[in-house]
Structure 1
């Protein structure tokens, strides 16, 4: 690895950590406002929420990055919601979720992540997830390990699924067929049995829980690339694995993911899942995940 001063990707990561801390200050300040936080709006459904703080945090991050790295591209949750394309090219690209866990934020539930991933040649090079209320800064760089507040992270060594803790979420899709598949999968996971099933209300923080060894596996369908890009490299650099819910290679645009401490646990959970395929983030691009056993 080049020295830090001559390494543009490390410089970008250092900038992301600094701006994530500033964003976290905005999140905490908003939570001090009477009645919780800024006005709540809805996006694709009555339970898919966005606040002014989401939008302000994304503007802060993008404007800050543009001033320092003007040639870089962006995929941001609120930008995409406003009509910007969600396309991951080979160019250096910042993948931003200003508040992962907006529903938590609205209700004052203390698991809110500022997520910044960075991809080059369509591969995530580093990720920053700042749990703003907990003041936990999760970071990882490909080939450089994963850390929380500077301390190394390592996934759980557990290989017995019956002694595993799982994490998942219910998402914002209330279509009856989707809800049926979610609960069918949950019933089968619980019936393995596993020790328990938890959910932080944030895809990124669930994945960081896998990276830290607190849970063995997290699975979800319906998430977005900005929810998981930053945390994906944190999981793998902590020794974990990523798969599609079909069992194939993970495709961050497919909106399906299984993050686990090892292949053994991942395989047992994948066997329980009722797979469904939401519309891709890149709208109509070929589905990169392949059915079959994890490799």
Structure 2
């Protein structure tokens, strides 16, 4: 499965970068259209364009794999279909920041098989960083291996969260 995980990680890396270019183009050309989902969360034309790019790439390369996306789920939740390969997508994480021209947003794609995540990529185009990880193979940022820092106490750590 590790060989497949490397293949999937490479694919995820490629597709998040392609989607990243598209959402930057949409913002640069001032073509952002904003709507609201339930609970008042915003969704933009860039969210939907990124989602479409990623879904079409997956369908083309892995037509038998499932897709679970923040924007379009194809009934995965309702059917509780989590067996086999399932791509998990957040086509534009940080939509509020994106829509306000703040650089803190990303495109996230991962793949799980039977509920176990094997590979994924997160691309923050404005920051120029891409993270890619493989189960059992570590993670990289822009190709450089990442390392975990260990702390003795929680007060030494930095913890953050955000809510819409």
Calculate the TM-score normalised by the size of structure 2. Answer: 0.91
Distance 1:85 1:33, change over 3 A: same
Of 68, 76, 79, the residue aligned with 1:85 is: 76
Please list, as runs of the form range in 1=range in 2, the aligned pairs for 1:1-295 lying within 5 A after superposition: 7-34=3-30, 37-46=31-40, 48-80=41-73, 84-86=75-77, 87-169=80-162, 171-172=163-164
Q: Report the 3-state secondary structure (helix = DSSP H, G, I; strand = E; otherwise coil) of the residue aligned with 2:104.
A: coil
Instruction: Quote the offset at 1:19 in angstroms.
Output: 1.1
Bigger Cα Rg: 1
Instruction: Quote the offset at 1:135 in angstroms.
Output: 1.5
In structure 1, distance between residues paired with 2:15 and 2:155: 41
1:88–1:122 Cα contact (<8 Å) kept = no
Structure 1 gaps, min length 5: 173-295
Task: After superposition, give the CA deviation of every residue in 1:41-72 in whole Å (9 maximum; x if it has no partner).
Answer: 010133x1101111111111111111111111
Instruction: Name the count of aligned residue pairs.
Output: 162
Task: After superposition, give the CA deviation of every residue in 1:150-192 in whole Å (9 maximum; x if it has no partner).
Answer: 11112222222233322111x23xxxxxxxxxxxxxxxxxxxx
Distance 1:16 1:164, change over 3 A: closer
- Which structure shows the higher strand fraction? 2
Task: After superposition, give the CA deviation of every residue in 1:181-230 in whole Å (9 maximum; x if it has no partner).
Answer: xxxxxxxxxxxxxxxxxxxxxxxxxxxxxxxxxxxxxxxxxxxxxxxxxx
Calculate the TM-score normalised by the size of structure 1. Answer: 0.52
The CA RMSD measured in Å over matched residues stands at 1.7
Q: Report the 3-state secondary structure (helix = DSSP H, G, I; strand = E; otherwise coil) of the residue aligned with 1:26.
A: helix
In structure 1, distance between residues paired with 2:102 and 2:109: 21
Structure 2 gaps, min length 5: none
Q: Report the 3-state secondary structure (helix = DSSP H, G, I; strand = E; otherwise coil) of the residue aligned with 2:55.
A: helix
2:13–2:120 Cα contact (<8 Å) kept = no
Give 4+ residue runs of structure 1 displaced > 3 Å after superposition: none
Instruction: Quote the offset at 1:149 in angstroms.
Output: 0.5
Instruction: Quote the offset at 1:88 in angstroms.
Output: 4.7
